[in-house]
Structure 1
Amino acid sequence: MSTRHLEALFKPKSIAILGASERSNSLGGMVLRNLMSTDYGGKLVVVNERGYNNIHGIPCVKKVGQLPFKPDLAIICTPPETVPMLVRQLAQKRIKTAMILTGGLSRTHSRSGRPLMYSVQEVAKETGIRVLGPETIGVMVPHNNINATYMHMGILPGKIAYIGQSGTLASGIIDWAFSRGIGFSHLTTLGDSIDIDLDDLIDYLAQDRNTKAILLHIENITSPRRFISAVRAVSRGKPVIAVKSGRTPASQWAPVELPPGIVDGDKIYDAVLRRAGVLRVNGSDEMFDALETMTRMKAVRSEPLHIITNGTGPGVLAVDRLASLKGELGTLSPETVSELAKLLPPYWTRKNPIDLNYDAGPQLYEQVLAILSRDPHVSNVLVLFAPSLTEDSLQVADAVIQFSTRTHLNVFTCWLGHSTVQDARDAFFDRGVPTYSTPDKAVKAFMHMANHQRGQRVLRETPESYTDPQVDRTKARKNIQAIYGSGRRILTNEEVRDLLQTYGVPMLDTHYCDTEEQVVELARELNVPVDVRILHEEACKPFAMENTGRGRIRGRVKGLVEEKSIRESCQFLLKSYREHFPESGYMGFAVHPSFQSVGGVGFSLGVTRDPVFGPLMFCGASGATINVVADRRVALPPLNMVLARDLLAQTYMYRLLLDFSYRPEQDINKVCETLVLLSQITMDIPEIKTLEILPLYFDRSGAVAVNAMAELGAPMKPAILPYPQELREWILLPKSKRRVELRPVRGEDEPNQIDFHSRLSPESIRYRYFHYRKNFSHDEMVQMLQIDYDREMAFVAMAQHDNGTEEALGIVRAWTDPDNLYSEFAIIVRDDMKGERLGWVMMRKIIEYCTERGTIEMVGSVLPDNRPMLALAQKLGFAVRYDDEEEVMALRLPLNTPDEWQAERLRVLTGRK
Structure 2
Amino acid sequence: MSTRNLNALFNPRSIVVIGASERATSLGGMVLRNLMAGDYGGKLLVVNRHGYDQVHGVACVRRVRSMKLVPDLAIICTPPETVPKVVRQLGEAGVRTAMVMTGGMSRSHSRNGQPLMYAVRDAARKAGIRVLGPNTIGIMSPSTNLNATYAHMGVLPGKIGFVGQSGTVCSAVIDWAFARGVGFSRLLTLGDGMDIGHDDLIDYLAEDPGTRAILLHMEHIPNPRRFISAVRAASRTKPVIAVKSGRYPESEYMPQPLPDGLTQSDPIYDAALQRAGVLRVNGLDEMFDGLESLSRMRKVRREELVVVSNGVGPGVLAVDRLKYQGGQLASFSEKTVEALQKRLPDYLSVRNPLDLGFDASPQLYADVLEILGKDPAVANVMVMYTPTLLEDTLHIADSVLKAVKRQRLNVFTCWLGQATVLDAREAFYEEGLPTFFSPEKAIRAFMHFVQHQRGQRLLAETPESWPEPEVDRQEARKMVQRVIRSRRDHLLHQEARQLISAYGIETLETAYCDDEDDAIEAFREWGGPVNVTLLHEAGCHPFLEETTGRGRYKATIRRLNDEQGVAKACRLLLEQYRKHFPNSGFLGFALHQTDAHLGGIGFSVGITRDAVFGPLIVCGSAGARVNVMTDRRVGLPPLNMNLAYELVSRSYMYRLLREYSHHPEDDSRGVCQTLVTLSQIISDIPEVRGLEILPLLFGTEGAVACDVAINLGEAVSPVIKPYPRELEETVVLKSGREVLLRPIRAEDEPRHLEFHESQSPETIRYRFFQYRNQFSHEDVARMVQIDYDREMVFIATESTEDGDERTLGSVRVWTDADNIHCEFAVMVRDEMRGEGLGRVLMEKMIRYCRARGTLEMVGNVLPGNESMNGLARALGFKVTYNDDEEVMDLRLSLNEPREDWQLDRVDGELPPI
Same fold (TM over 0.5): yes
Call closer, same or farther: CA 1:383–1:358 in 2, change over 3 Å. Answer: same
CA distance in 1, matches of 2:734, 2:394: 77
CA distance in 2, matches of 1:190, 1:585: 50
CA contact (8 A) 1:599 1:660 kept: no
Do structure 1's residue 262 and structure 2's residue 262 form an aligned pair?
A: yes
- 1:331 is matched with which residue? 331
- Amino acid aligned to 1:468: E
CA distance in 2, matches of 1:910, 1:606: 46
The C-alpha deviation readout for 1:653-708, integer Å capped at 9, x for no partner, is 11222222222222211111111111111110011000000000124553211000
Q: Which moved more, 1:275-284 or 1:541-550?
A: 541-550
Deviation at 1:598, TM superposition (A): 6.8
CA contact (8 A) 1:689 1:713 kept: yes
- 1:753 is matched with which residue? 752
Call closer, same or farther: CA 1:136–1:153 in 2, change over 3 Å. Answer: same
- Amino acid aligned to 2:904: E
- 1:206 is matched with which residue? 206
- Amino acid aligned to 1:120: V
CA distance in 1, matches of 2:524, 2:30: 87
- 2:2 is matched with which residue? 2
- 2:890 is matched with which residue? 891
- 1:858 is matched with which residue? 857
- Amino acid aligned to 2:872: A
Secondary structure of the equivalent of 1:780? helix
Call closer, same or farther: CA 1:494–1:628 in 2, change over 3 Å. Answer: farther
CA distance in 1, matches of 2:343, 2:761: 56
Deviation at 1:591, TM superposition (A): 1.5
Call closer, same or farther: CA 1:177–1:27 in 2, change over 3 Å. Answer: same
- 1:610 is matched with which residue? 610
- 1:847 is matched with which residue? 846
Q: Once superposed, what is the RMSD of the aligned Cα atoms?
A: 1.7
Deviation at 1:831, TM superposition (A): 1.5
- 2:779 is matched with which residue? 780
Q: For residues 378-417 of structure 1, what are the structure 2 equivalents within 5 Å? A: 378-417=378-417
CA distance in 1, matches of 2:36, 2:620: 58
CA contact (8 A) 2:546 2:624 kept: no
CA distance in 1, matches of 2:651, 2:326: 14
CA distance in 2, matches of 1:872, 1:746: 27
- 1:243 is matched with which residue? 243
Q: Which moved more, 1:433-442 or 1:67-76?
A: 433-442
Call closer, same or farther: CA 1:671–1:911 in 2, change over 3 Å. Answer: closer
CA distance in 1, matches of 2:189, 2:597: 54
- Amino acid aligned to 1:136: T
Deviation at 1:117, TM superposition (A): 0.7
- 2:825 is matched with which residue? 826
- 2:113 is matched with which residue? 113
| Structure 1 unaligned blocks of 5 or more | none
- Amino acid aligned to 1:221: I
- 1:88 is matched with which residue? 88
The C-alpha deviation readout for 1:46-100, integer Å capped at 9, x for no partner, is 1111111111111111111111111000001111111111011001101000000
Deviation at 1:466, TM superposition (A): 2.2
- Amino acid aligned to 1:375: D
CA contact (8 A) 1:693 1:709 kept: yes
CA contact (8 A) 2:413 2:442 kept: yes
Secondary structure of the equivalent of 1:542? coil
- 2:290 is matched with which residue? 290
CA distance in 2, matches of 1:788, 1:597: 43
Call closer, same or farther: CA 1:628–1:831 in 2, change over 3 Å. Answer: farther
Deviation at 1:560, TM superposition (A): 1.8
- 1:811 is matched with which residue? 810
Do structure 1's residue 511 and structure 2's residue 511 form an aligned pair?
A: yes
- 1:440 is matched with which residue? 440
- 1:668 is matched with which residue? 668
- 1:184 is matched with which residue? 184
Q: Which moved more, 1:239-248 or 1:34-43?
A: 34-43
Deviation at 1:141, TM superposition (A): 0.5
- 1:25 is matched with which residue? 25
CA distance in 1, matches of 2:20, 2:885: 48
Call closer, same or farther: CA 1:716–1:376 in 2, change over 3 Å. Answer: same
CA contact (8 A) 1:619 1:647 kept: yes
Deviation at 1:725, TM superposition (A): 1.0
CA distance in 1, matches of 2:53, 2:300: 59
Secondary structure of the equivalent of 1:372? helix
CA distance in 1, matches of 2:629, 2:879: 61
Secondary structure of the equivalent of 1:500? helix
Q: For residues 647-666 of structure 1, what are the structure 2 equivalents within 5 Å? A: 647-666=647-666
Secondary structure of the equivalent of 2:618? strand
CA distance in 1, matches of 2:598, 2:629: 22
CA contact (8 A) 2:854 2:894 kept: yes
- 1:130 is matched with which residue? 130
CA contact (8 A) 2:310 2:386 kept: yes
Q: For residues 561-576 of structure 1, what are the structure 2 equivalents within 5 Å? A: 561-576=561-576
- 1:642 is matched with which residue? 642
CA distance in 2, matches of 1:902, 1:646: 42
CA contact (8 A) 1:263 1:629 kept: no
Q: For residues 406-555 of structure 1, what are the structure 2 equivalents within 5 Å? A: 406-549=406-549, 552-555=552-555
Call closer, same or farther: CA 1:481–1:20 in 2, change over 3 Å. Answer: same
TM-score (norm 2): 0.98
CA distance in 1, matches of 2:782, 2:78: 48
- 1:227 is matched with which residue? 227
CA contact (8 A) 1:607 1:617 kept: yes
- Amino acid aligned to 2:753: I
CA contact (8 A) 2:625 2:631 kept: no
CA distance in 2, matches of 1:625, 1:325: 24
Do structure 1's residue 144 and structure 2's residue 144 form an aligned pair?
A: yes
The C-alpha deviation readout for 1:137-186, integer Å capped at 9, x for no partner, is 11001111100001111111111100000111111111111122211110
CA contact (8 A) 1:598 1:660 kept: no
Deviation at 1:474, TM superposition (A): 0.6
Deviation at 1:494, TM superposition (A): 0.6
Call closer, same or farther: CA 1:349–1:264 in 2, change over 3 Å. Answer: farther
Secondary structure of the equivalent of 1:342? helix
CA contact (8 A) 2:551 2:624 kept: no
CA contact (8 A) 1:662 1:700 kept: no
Secondary structure of the equivalent of 1:721? coil
Q: Which moved more, 1:23-32 or 1:261-270?
A: 23-32
CA contact (8 A) 1:620 1:633 kept: yes
Q: For residues 584-603 of structure 1, what are the structure 2 equivalents within 5 Å? A: 584-596=584-596, 601-603=601-603
CA distance in 2, matches of 1:519, 1:488: 26
- 2:173 is matched with which residue? 173
- 2:869 is matched with which residue? 870
CA distance in 1, matches of 2:750, 2:432: 41
Secondary structure of the equivalent of 1:604? strand
Do structure 1's residue 763 and structure 2's residue 746 form an aligned pair?
A: no
Call closer, same or farther: CA 1:755–1:98 in 2, change over 3 Å. Answer: same
CA contact (8 A) 2:30 2:150 kept: yes
Deviation at 1:387, TM superposition (A): 2.7
CA contact (8 A) 2:863 2:888 kept: yes
Of all paired residues, the percent bearing the same amino acid is 57
CA contact (8 A) 2:141 2:187 kept: yes
CA contact (8 A) 1:532 1:558 kept: yes
Call closer, same or farther: CA 1:701–1:715 in 2, change over 3 Å. Answer: closer
Deviation at 1:875, TM superposition (A): 0.8
Deviation at 1:528, TM superposition (A): 2.8
CA contact (8 A) 1:765 1:771 kept: yes
| Structure 2 unaligned blocks of 5 or more | none
Q: Which moved more, 1:65-74 or 1:319-328?
A: 319-328
TM-score (norm 1): 0.98
The C-alpha deviation readout for 1:288-332, integer Å capped at 9, x for no partner, is 211222222222331111100122222122112211221121001
The C-alpha deviation readout for 1:480-517, integer Å capped at 9, x for no partner, is 01101221012111110000000000111122222223
Call closer, same or farther: CA 1:814–1:872 in 2, change over 3 Å. Answer: same
- 2:358 is matched with which residue? 358
Q: Which moved more, 1:828-837 or 1:684-693?
A: 828-837
